[in-house]
Amino acid sequence: MREISGTGEYIMEDNENMKQAQDKAYEEAMRSIAQQVAVYIRSESTVESSVLTKDEVELLATALVQVREKRFTKEVMPDGKLQIKAFLTGDIDEETTEKALAKKVAKFNQQKALEVAKAKHAAQQGAKEDAQKEYNEAMRHTVTALLADGEALLKQGKYAAAMEKFNEVIKDHPDYAKGYVRRGECYIGMGKMDAAMQDYNKAITLDPKEAESYYGRGQAYEKQGKKQEAIADYRKFLEVSNIVEHGDKITAVLDRLAKLES
């Protein structure tokens, strides 16, 4: 386990409140941590990551860091404005990082090989220009990359930016349940429970075995004060989830059920 610290600064504007300023200072501190982890990945990892861009590595790093301590300070500047500083301390597990990096690189290479083959096939059919365009577009907008990027942004609380990624997934793959699940998480973070409910309902219609749909909808019901509906969805989540993929959420749901049913 490697400990990493980061500091972020932000000058609070007159039309902002303290929470908004702290969030922006927090983002700067997280960016500092992500850059440090990215340097570690590039310099010390045994996985060949040169196929990934700097931004992709930093997004991956952000998703892997577990922040365990955070504090804020404020200082009045000479011009009267308030400077907010965020101090974060987090941990990153080297073994988990290696596995996540290897998985992302493998998916990138797999997708690249697939799209190259598709482009070559199209070129053989006399559509060289269209094939090249399709290849370039596919390289930039694969489902895997979009979901990974969106999930990293979601973890940072950047709901609008994350939603843009998930909207692209839904646009290109309207029958893919995971896109609606992740967008539903954005809506919950933004306090839009009705919109979140619509996305979770859609995801369940597309794939009744997508466990996180019930987890998310259960959260939305609970926030709306619909206790029995929340309990039903949490129980359905436990029924269709698995410990390998949903371990942390299973623990959280058991805790929520204990409180709701007490």
What confidence tens digit (pLDDT) does each residue in 73-91 have? 999 999 999 999 999 998 8
Sequence ranges of the domains in the chain: 2-99, 150-260
Tell me the C-alpha distance between 44 and 63, whole Å.
19
> Residues 158-178: what's their mean pLDDT?
92
In whole angstroms, give the CA distance from residue 21 to residue 11. Answer: 7
Q: Lowest-pLDDT range, 63-67, 69-73, 162-166, 258-262?
A: 63-67
pLDDT band per the 50, 70, 90 thresholds, residue 209:
very high
pLDDT in tens, 179-204: 999 999 999 999 999 999 999 999 99
> What CATH code would you report for 2-99?
3.10.129.140
All residues at 6 or more sequence positions from 145 whose CB lies less than 8 Å from its CB, including other chains: 56, 108, 111
What does the pLDDT read at residue 173?
87
Give residue-wise pLDDT tens across range 35-50. 887 777 667 655 554 5
Provide the edge-to-edge strand list for the sheet that holds 2-12. 2-12, 82-92, 66-76
pLDDT at 108: 58
Got the DSSP string for 38-90?
Answer: HHHHHHH-SS--TTS-HHHHHHHHHHH-EEEEEEEEEEE-TTSPEEEEEEEEE
Per CATH, domain 150-260 is 1.10.3720.10 = no
Beta-ladder partners of 9: 85
Helices and strands in the chain: count of H runs, count of E runs: 11, 3
Asked if 2-99 and 150-260 have one fold, the answer is: no
CA distance 239 to 246: 12
Here the tokens at position 13 are: 């504007």
Tens of pLDDT, residue by residue over 108-156, are 567 666 777 677 766 666 656 666 667 656 655 578 888 888 999 999 9
| pLDDT for position 102 | 65
DSSP state, residue 13: P
Per-residue CA distances from 61 to 7, 55, 235 (Å)? 16, 10, 33
Is the pTM value of this prediction over 0.75? no
* pLDDT score at 159: 94
DSSP 161: H
